[in-house]
């Protein structure tokens, strides 16, 4: 019988196998990961019920990583209604997928650091759906758990260790967004 640990391992292995190039094909990786999540949705939801029920706030768990080319694979737990600030990803490429529950993603881009941020789109991700972005410092997004009752779980793959990044608050005057440096905290390793 396939357990959630097999599913997590399949997700981690697919993420590592598809990212051996510096600029991997994110669309095909998103399809591959999405199909594993669709296939194993129930096992993942049941097996990760601790993460869904322990109510410790927003958490990042490390599922796997590799140096050269750098890749990190994380599972995140989103309390009901939790919204991130608008944030960048330190210039790394990335894929973010829903594993359980639904997420709203609003994204912005800009031509250069001196230009204004432009709203690029708003997506709604159900289990297996993904959003992705290339290695580009001129991209940011804000994500929200659309449920008011349930914790959502998401899978994130980045082209390196996402430790130092920036959040952006809207302000009244130019440049209309104020950035602040942040450090990403990892709750612990997720064992498979
Ligand atoms: Fe993000």
Calculate what percentage of the chain has a pLDDT beyond 90. 83
pLDDT in tens, 9-44: 999 999 999 999 988 999 999 999 999 999 999 999
> Would you place residue 56 in the very low, low, confident or very high pLDDT band (cuts 50, 70, 90)?
confident
pLDDT number for residue 2 = 77
Positive or negative, the Cα torsion across 185, 44, 84, 161?
positive
Give 60 Cα–ligand 1 centroid separation in angstroms: 11
Range of the domain at 161: 4-189
Give 18 Cα–ligand 1 centroid separation in angstroms: 20
Q: Which parts of 48-88 fold into alpha helices (H)? A: 49-53
CATH number at residue 77: 2.60.120.10
pLDDT in tens, 90-105: 999 999 999 999 999 9
Give 107 Cα–ligand 1 centroid separation in angstroms: 10
What average pLDDT score do residues 147-154 get? 96
pTM: 0.94
> Would you place residue 57 in the very low, low, confident or very high pLDDT band (cuts 50, 70, 90)?
very high
Number of structural domains, the chain?
1
Give 71 Cα–ligand 1 centroid separation in angstroms: 15
Positive or negative, the Cα torsion across 105, 122, 101, 17?
negative
Q: Which residues contact 22 (CB under 8 A, 6 or more apart)?
A: 69, 159
């Amino acid at each position: 019988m396939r357990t959630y640990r097999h599913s997590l391992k399949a997700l981690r292995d697919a993420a590592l196998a598809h990212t051996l190039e510096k600029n991997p094909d994110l669309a095909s990786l998103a399809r591959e990961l999405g199909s594993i999540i669709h296939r194993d949705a129930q096992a993942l939801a049941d097996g990760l019920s601790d993460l869904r029920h322990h109510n410790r706030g927003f958490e990042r768990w490390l599922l796997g990583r590799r140096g050269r080319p750098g890749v990190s694979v994380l599972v995140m737990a989103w309390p009901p209604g939790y919204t991130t600030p608008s944030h960048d990803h330190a210039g790394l490429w990335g894929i973010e997928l829903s594993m359980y529950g639904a997420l709203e993603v609003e994204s912005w881009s800009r031509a250069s650091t001196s230009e204004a941020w432009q709203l690029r789109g708003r997506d709604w991700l159900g289990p297996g759906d993904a959003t992705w972005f290339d290695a580009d410092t001129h991209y940011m997004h804000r994500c929200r758990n659309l449920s008011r009752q349930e914790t959502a779980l998401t899978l994130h793959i980045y082209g390196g260790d996402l430790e130092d990044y920036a959040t952006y608050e809207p302000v009244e005057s130019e440049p209309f967004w104020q950035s602040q440096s942040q450090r990403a905290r990892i709750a612990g390793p997720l064992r498979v």
